[in-house]
Amino acid sequence: MSRKQKQLFKSTLALGVVCLILCTPIVSLGWGAGGHMIVAKVAFDRLNPRAKQEVAKLLAIQITRPGLSPKSKGLLASATSKSKDFVNAAHWPDDLRPIPEFDCFKELHFVDTAFSDDGTALPSLPTPNIINALKDAVDTLKTSTDDNARAQALRFLIHFVGDIHQPLHCATEVSASNPGSDRGGNLVKLKVGGKTTNLHSYWDGGIGSFPKSGPNFAPPPLSQIPAAARQARAGNPATNPKIKLNKPENFNGWADESFELAKSVAYKGIHNGGTPTANYNKRALAVARQRVAWGGYRLAALLNSIWP
């Protein structure tokens, strides 16, 4: 992550100016609110008492940023006021979509490692990316004396741990028809249930199984999340050694897992304009539930390591 972007986590100076310099239009933002809330619920249930105390203190802070327009100030205040509990804090970074001064953060939701099945030349890995963002958020929580910056870093950390476990946030296919990449499946159209969607959005919603957002990206009711979290944990116990809870900052490893799953599951057998088969849906759903469960376990381990 660039020095200027680090300052967005570590100081309260010049947010608007820095973001307007750095911002880049981005299509995708990660699991839907429901998926992020599942990750957070799984994690919250595993936090130790000190970690719960620290996150409660930071989530109670009304985040402010200098350099925002009056309209953006109101939008930030509204988004923050709705994310005072741990589970709802998970979708706060996506709630910032209407605030142009935060556009620069959009590129930090993913690390699109490219692959090709037809020999098309691969672009270089874009930086900064979600791995840089996770490292800086952790560093802010560990070392910053600015609670406003730490409150922001915590919300981004909860969200980004979810994002990096979404396979299509860690992979993008390039081909002769999309030499610049398909933007993590955003350009791959699908027909599902008589409606047109895209591959990335299909995975964001947990293959149609996660609690659904309402109009204007409104998050699903909090009451729907515990059952969805139990369903994700079922068959995906935290005791699986592959989760490596003893390595709570293994961000590159998490991204590598997602990349391989994107190639072997998310893109497998999918064609632009097609309809996913029943076998595809069965396997994809199992992977989606595993990824939100593992994301939750790892988020808890990470926060417990910061506040043992």
Residue 185 pLDDT > 60: yes
Burial 15-38 (b: 16+ CB within 10 A, else e): bbebbeebbeebebbbbbbbbbbb
Average predicted confidence (pLDDT) for the chain = 91
pLDDT-wise least confident of 2-16, 47-61, 190-204, 230-244 = 2-16
What pLDDT, in 10s, does the model give residues 258-293? 999 999 999 999 999 999 999 999 999 999 999 999
Per-residue pLDDT at 217: 79
- 197 φ, ψ to 5°? -140, -165
pLDDT of residue 28: 52
Mean pLDDT of the region 148-165: 97
The least confident of 26-35, 106-115, 256-265 is 26-35
Q: Chain-centre distance of CA 178, in angstroms?
A: 24
Q: What is the number of residues in the chain?
A: 308
**Contact at 8 Å (CB) between 215 and 198?**
no
| Beta strands in the chain, from DSSP E residues, in sequence order | 113-115, 171-173, 189-192, 195-198
Structure tokens at 228: 């969805």
**Residue-wise pLDDT tens digits, 84-104:** 999 999 999 999 999 999 998
Q: pTM of the full predicted structure?
A: 0.92
CA angle, corner 65, sides to 63 and 68, nearest 5?
130
Pick the CATH number of 3-9+29-306 from 3.40.50.2300, 1.10.575.10, 3.40.50.1820, 3.40.50.300: 1.10.575.10
Q: What is the mean pLDDT of residues 137-153?
A: 97
Query: Which of these, 139, 146, 40, lies nearest to 83 by C-alpha position?
Result: 40
C-alpha 159/C-alpha 156 separation (Å) is 5
At residue 227, does pLDDT exceed 60?
yes
The percent of residues above 90 in pLDDT, for the chain, comes to 87
168, 184 contact by CB (below 8 A): yes
pLDDT tops 70 at residue 46: yes
Stretch 110-126: mean pLDDT, rounded?
Answer: 95
pLDDT at 26 over 70: no
> Hey, CA dihedral for 287, 246, 83, 5, is it positive or negative?
negative
- Give the CA radius of gyration of the chain: 18
**Do residues 170 and 258 lie in contact, with contact meaning Cβ atoms separated by under 8 Å?**
yes
Asked if residue 173 lies in contact with residue 116, where contact means CB atoms within 8 angstroms, the answer is yes
